[in-house]
Every structure is written in structure tokens, then in C-alpha cells.
Amino acid sequence: MAGPLTTVPPVVVLLAVAIAIAALPRRAGHALGIVASGAALAWAWAVPSGAFLRTTFLGFDAVLLNVDDFSRLMGVIFGIIGVAAVLYSYASEAESVQTAFAYSYVATSYGAVFAGDWLTLLFFWELMAVTSTLLVWHYRGKAVRAGYRYAIFHGIGGTLLMAAILQNYAIKGTFLFGSVPGGPETMGIAAGLPAALAAVGIGVNVGFIGLHAWLPDTYPRPHIAASVFLCVFTTKTGVYGMYRAFPDGHVAIAYMGGGMAVFGATFALFQNDMRRLLSYHIQSQVGYMIAGVGIGSALSQAGAFAHVFNHILYKGLLFMTAGVVVYRTGEENLKKLGGLARKMPITAGAFTVAALSIAGFPGFNGFVSKGIVIDGAHYTFVDGPVPVYEWTTLEWLLLLGGVGTFMSFIKFGYYAFFHGEYDGDVEDANRGQSVAMVGIAALCVFYGLFDGALFSLLPFDVTSKAAVEKVYTTYTVVHVVEGVILGLIGLVGFALAKKPLSKLGRVPDIDSLTNPAVFYGTRGLVVGLTDLYAAVDRAAVAGASTVVNSVTNPDTVYEEVVEGDHSNPLRAGIGVSILVLAVFVTVVLLLLP
């Protein structure tokens, strides 16, 4: 069963490549990164399905390499974007070390999506958080603090997931996935508390509303090439993990997805920082995927993974174009840009393709996959509390998200490329950047026009009645009309909202609540503990010194107490320590019987 392709898990090879990138000269290292990503792509395509490299880790069964249609799709798209992103890094003057960090992040993502058990998945999940934090930190400056917040968020999320996995283990007696031979009979995380913990833990990674603040906080800050990597792996691996945890979906998750689609698109509309706007759109787009996973039908899950695939292409492309604008003009703010279309035709062209893709305009890849999810919400999901006309609740949420997407990308394009004139000289993207952008843009169009190529990659064949509940056809009159109408509404909406939007200041998001809460919370904990300790200490010192003074010859002991104490209120003196000890033992003795 184990052939030459299945002897080593890809993460091992790719981590070695990451180290080599740091060690080699810049040009050779990046070339190696591109070749290795291409090889990973070919490998993911060719590797046979099945569970390989079964081993025991600390006495628990583990499967280091588990290939099925879901992980294969992730491996293929990670390979494609890896090639483009490394090329883009090289062209954007990223340091070797930064690309090495980014590559280790790619490598651990491969480890996560090809894991066959929860333990291995969690291991690489945590490593992804570490490597991506390093990638953010590498840019220094403002990125460092954002990196901290990012690390704390993901640390908490990972810990919740770990708690869920442990409880799942306590119930099922194994860490293996249900789909792996020898695994438990039911797939996914056991229902009840474990499922809730898993949903919240993974929810941090996919940016559930309320848990999403790290996303727009972190992604705009590092190097432009780092953003391209960041926007791809964490959230999409999260979607993949969500599927593994909830293979049959869950209503609450589906509605959370719908909510994210609207919430992210709305907040994106308020943003003026390009990469911050794009970050909110990650949340919005991931909302579609989460909705697809949550619906739980074969059609919607196929749609979710199709959307993962397409989203990685156009979102990577969007961050590349925004990066080029930053790279050439040094400006992050849309209000200070404009008229770049004439100066930067390639970038503007690539942006247009990507924007039409993300908004789901007919002929582009986003249209195909978003359509599957919306069809899934229409045909295979409950009506929900507030169906409107013939749309189910979830469906109109997703459609509304689509309008918001159109509006915010019309805004982005209008202010960056078409509005006014750009004074001063500015060059278009350099050759490497152009190759990367045009290549990905071509793929966006290709998968939009030839939807069969995309369908063949999906875990469920959406064109076969045997595999899905409702056969999906991309180009029907209804779909196309729907897509065009959404676009028109978006255009009109933007025209109406342009004035009020431009007057709008910065809209506070949930992080203006959570950041102080976390900050003062942890500070309160530490200060509270130390102050409590110091208070006990002071009281005890006061008590001890009266006792000591009443003793005939107190001087030496007293000196010790004071001297041990004055430099730091925390340092308990000898007398206090003994007092604490005596009280401690007394309490223990009193409590024991």
C-alpha cells in the first residue's frame, strides 16, 4: 500500500526546505521554495488516497499521512498559492528569513491538513500559530504588539480545541478520525460540551463574530508578502478543521457562517486601510464556507470546499495587488490614493479580475462556488426563522453578504484605481509580481469559465445525482441574473452610500472592547495577585513587628525582616514566611478530618 509517495509526510520535506531557504542565498532559496511548492502540488495531485504512516505516539494511535478528497484539495491549492506567493515574496524584496518563516508556516499547514488523527492535527495547528506569529513579528514595529494579540488569541483557541479533543478521546477512546480505518464509528467531535468547545476553539481560527478581532488587527501590519501567506492558511485550515469536527454540520454553525458573511462585508465597507478592508472580507468569505460546512449536506460541503479553493486564489491575488500599491506608493490608505489605473494597468487589471471573482460575478470563479453554497442553503437547508420571498433565512443572509462584497470592492477599486488623478510618477508591478498576479488571475478566470475542472477536484461530484441532493449547474438563467442583479444593487448602493461613507470615521469593532478587557483582565489578575500578596505581607509584617517588639531583644530579627523587605514589596521576610507556613499547616490540619 505504501508507495514512494507515501513514505514521508510532506511537512517534513517542506520544513527542510524552509530551513534551506533561510540558509541559501536569496535568489536560490526562493527558487527552491517555488520548485518545492510545485512539487508539493504535483505530489498532492498524484498521491493515492488512504491512511499511511500509522504509528503510535506516546502510546496513542496516530496517522501522520491521511489522504482523502478533502485533504487532497487543500494540498493542491496550498501548492498553487505557495508557488505564486514565494515568487511574489522574491519580487517584493522579502528577506530570506521572512520567507523561511512563511515557508515553515506553509509546511505546518500541510502537516495539519494531511493529519489522520486529532492529536497530529492539533500538533500542527499549534505550530501554525507559532510560525505565523514569528512571520508577523519578523516585521517588527507595530507588527510586534499585533503579533502578541494574535498569539494570545490562537493560544486560547488552540487550548479550547485541545480540551475538546481530550474529552472526545475520553468518550471514544481514540484520537483517530472516523474516516480512518480503525477509527471510531462516528466521525467528528462527540456532541455536547466537546462539540461546543471545538466550535469555539476552531471558531477563533475561522473568525467567528466576536472572535475575529485578531484578523483585521494582524493581517494589515506585516510585510506585504507576509500578508499574502497569512490570508491563505490559518482561516482555510480552520474551515477544514471545522469540517473534520462537524462532518454532518450544525444549524448554529451554518447561521454563524451567514452572520459572518454579512458582518465581515459590512465592516469591510467602513474601512479605508486597504489590507484591513481585505481582512474583513476574509471573515465574510469564510462565512460562506462555514455556512456550507454547517448546512452539512454533500452539496453544501462540496460548495464550501470549492469556495476554499477559489477564495485562496482571489484573496491571495487581492493581497498581492494591494501589496503592489503599498510597495509602489508607500500608502496604505484608500483616501490618499486614486487614479492608479492608468499608471498601473497590470495591477488594476488583476485587481478587477479578483474583485469580480470575490463578488461572485458570472464568468469568474467566485460565482461558481458561491452559487453552490447558496444553492445548498436554498435546497438542502431548513427555511429558518425569517424566510423572505422564496429565500431561506440563511440564503438571503448570504445574498446580502454578496451585495456588501460588491459595494466594498467597488469602493476599493473606485478610490484606488479610478477616482481622480495620481500625481507623481509611479511604476507598475515589477516583473516577478506581475507574473505571480497574472498567473493567479488567469486561474480565477479559468475556473470560472471551465467549472468542470473545479468540480473534478471536489469531494462530492456536484453534477451527479448519485452524489448530491440537488444537481448543480453553474450557468443557469436564474444564477446569472442573480449574479448580475447583486452587482447592480451593489453599484447603486455604493453610489448612494459614497457620501455618508466618506464622512464616516473609524467604526469601532469588537476589539475595542476585547483588547482592553484582555489587557486589564490579565493585568488585573497579575496585579491583583501581587497586591493581595503584598497586602497580606504588609498586614503580617505589622503583626509580626508588634510581636517582635514585645520580645526582649527584637533588634536583629527585626532588621532582617525590614531589610529583606524594602527593595521589593513582594519579597516576604523570614518571619512572614514562617507565619505563612504555620498558618498553612494549621489550615491543612484543620481541614483534613
Partner 1 sequence: MIEHLPVLLVVLPIIGASVPLVASLYTDRIGWSIAVLTMLAYAALAGLLAQQVWPDTVVSYAVGGFALPYGIELVVDGLSLAVVLLISAITLGVLAYARHAGPHENTFYSQLLLLVTGLTGMTVTGDVFNLYVFLEITGLAAYGLVASGREASAAVAALKYLIIGTVGASLYLLGVGYALAVTGTLNMADMSGKLAAVGYDSTLVLTAFGLMVGGLSVKVALFPLHTWQPDAYANSPDSVSAFISALVSTVSAYALARLLFSVFTVDFLTAVPAARWALIVVASVSIVAGSALAVSQASVQRMLAYSSVSQFGLVIAGFAVATPIAVVGATVHLVGHAVMKGGLFAATGIIERETGTTTIGGYAGMGGRTPLAAGAFTVLALGMVGVPPAIGFVGKWYILVGAVEAELWPVVAVLLASTLLTLAYFARLGERLYFAEPTIREEGAIADGGEGSDGGERAEGSRSSSEPRSEGGDGDDGENAVSTGMLAVLVVAAVLAVALTAAVPALEQLLTETLPPLIQ
Q: In the complex, what is the shortest distance from the CB of residue 144 to partner 1, in angstroms, rounded to a whole number? A: 6
Cell of 334: 484608500
569 lines the binding site for partner 1 (CB under 8 A): no
- Looking at beta carbons only, is 117 or 509 nearer to partner 1? 117
The shares of helix, strand and coil residues in the chain, as percent rounded to the nearest 5, are 70, 5, 25
From 24-32, 70-78, 472-480, 563-571, span contacting partner 1 (CB under 8 A): 563-571
Q: Which helix (H) or strand (E) holds 63?
A: strand 60-67
From 88-96, 144-152, 306-314, 340-348, span contacting partner 1 (CB under 8 A): 144-152
580 lines the binding site for partner 1 (CB under 8 A): yes
Residues in the chain: 593
Q: In the complex, what is the shortest distance from the CB of residue 126 to partner 1, in angstroms, rounded to a whole number? A: 8
Binding mask 230-269 for partner 1 (x = CB under 8 A): ----------------------------------------
572 lines the binding site for partner 1 (CB under 8 A): yes
Contacts of 400 (CB under 8 A, 6+ apart): 261, 262, 265
- Looking at beta carbons only, is 102 or 468 nearer to partner 1? 102
Binding mask 516-555 for partner 1 (x = CB under 8 A): ---------xxx-xx--x----------------------
Contacts of 515 (CB under 8 A, 6+ apart): 149, 213
- Looking at beta carbons only, is 446 or 533 nearer to partner 1? 533
Among 103, 137, 153, 447, binds partner 1 (CB under 8 A): 137
User: Helix H segments across 450-573?
Assistant: 451-455, 477-503, 511-550, 555-566
Query: Phi and psi dihedrals of 102, rounded to 5?
Result: -60, -40
From 6-14, 103-111, 508-516, 580-588, span contacting partner 1 (CB under 8 A): 580-588
Among 155, 178, 363, 432, binds partner 1 (CB under 8 A): 155
- Looking at residue 237, what DSSP letter applies? H
Among 46, 48, 140, 248, binds partner 1 (CB under 8 A): 140
Binding mask 26-65 for partner 1 (x = CB under 8 A): --------------------------------xx------
From 36-44, 306-314, 353-361, 558-566, span contacting partner 1 (CB under 8 A): 558-566
What's the half-sphere exposure (Cβ side, CA atoms, 13 Å) at 330? 3
- Looking at residue 49, what DSSP letter applies? S
Among 13, 24, 31, 144, binds partner 1 (CB under 8 A): 144
Q: What sign results for the dihedral spanned by CA atoms 99, 125, 306, 221?
A: negative
From 252-260, 340-348, 438-446, 571-579, span contacting partner 1 (CB under 8 A): 571-579
Q: In the complex, what is the shortest distance from the CB of residue 43 to partner 1, in angstroms, rounded to a whole number? A: 24
- Looking at beta carbons only, is 144 or 438 nearer to partner 1? 144
What's the half-sphere exposure (Cβ side, CA atoms, 13 Å) at 572? 19
385 lines the binding site for partner 1 (CB under 8 A): no
Among 266, 352, 430, 577, binds partner 1 (CB under 8 A): 577
- Looking at beta carbons only, is 195 or 295 nearer to partner 1? 195
Please tell me the distance from the alpha carbon of residue 63 to that of residue 50, in angstroms, as a whole number: 10
- Looking at beta carbons only, is 87 or 561 nearer to partner 1? 561
Q: Which helix (H) or strand (E) holds 302?
A: helix 298-329
Binding mask 161-190 for partner 1 (x = CB under 8 A): -xx--xx-xx--------------------
- Looking at beta carbons only, is 126 or 511 nearer to partner 1? 126
Q: Which helix (H) or strand (E) holds 122?
A: helix 118-137
* Of the candidates 98, 127, 89, the residue with the CA atom closest to the CA atom of residue 11: 127
- Looking at beta carbons only, is 160 or 262 nearer to partner 1? 160
22 lines the binding site for partner 1 (CB under 8 A): no
Residue with cell 462565512: 287
Residue with cell 470592492: 409
101 lines the binding site for partner 1 (CB under 8 A): no
2 lines the binding site for partner 1 (CB under 8 A): no
- Looking at beta carbons only, is 1 or 591 nearer to partner 1? 591
Q: In the complex, what is the shortest distance from the CB of residue 468 to partner 1, in angstroms, rounded to a whole number? A: 39
Q: Which amino acid is at 294?
A: G
Query: Phi and psi dihedrals of 388, rounded to 5?
Result: -120, 130
- Looking at residue 295, what DSSP letter applies? H
From 405-413, 444-452, 504-512, 565-573, span contacting partner 1 (CB under 8 A): 565-573
Please tell me the distance from the alpha carbon of residue 86 to that of residue 103, in angstroms, as a whole number: 8
CA distances from 65 to 70, 174, 254, 323, 383 (A): 13, 17, 29, 35, 40
Q: In the complex, what is the shortest distance from the CB of residue 284 to partner 1, in angstroms, rounded to a whole number? A: 30
Q: In the complex, what is the shortest distance from the CB of residue 166 to partner 1, in angstroms, rounded to a whole number? A: 5
CA distances from 233 to 81, 123, 480, 530 (A): 10, 15, 31, 40
Q: In the complex, what is the shortest distance from the CB of residue 128 to partner 1, in angstroms, rounded to a whole number? A: 13
CB 168 within 8 A of CB 190: yes
Please give the size of the binding site for partner 1, defined by CB under 8 A: 46
Query: Phi and psi dihedrals of 552, rounded to 5?
Result: -60, -45
Q: In the complex, what is the shortest distance from the CB of residue 563 to partner 1, in angstroms, rounded to a whole number? A: 7
Please tell me the distance from the alpha carbon of residue 585 to that of residue 588, in angstroms, as a whole number: 5
- Looking at beta carbons only, is 473 or 522 nearer to partner 1? 522
Query: Phi and psi dihedrals of 186, rounded to 5?
Result: -100, 140
- Looking at residue 336, what DSSP letter applies? G
* Of the candidates 511, 447, 435, 501, the residue with the CA atom closest to the CA atom of residue 474: 447
CB 281 within 8 A of CB 268: yes
User: Helix H segments across 414-510?
Assistant: 431-449, 451-455, 477-503
From 79-87, 213-221, 363-371, 568-576, span contacting partner 1 (CB under 8 A): 568-576
CA distances from 49 to 45, 177, 339 (A): 10, 15, 50
Q: In the complex, what is the shortest distance from the CB of residue 583 to partner 1, in angstroms, rounded to a whole number? A: 9
Q: State the residues that interact with partner 1 by CB under 8 A.
A: 58-59, 123, 126, 130, 137-138, 140, 144, 148, 151, 155-156, 159, 162-163, 166-167, 169-170, 525-527, 529-530, 533, 560, 563-564, 570-574, 576-578, 580-581, 584-585, 588-589, 591-593
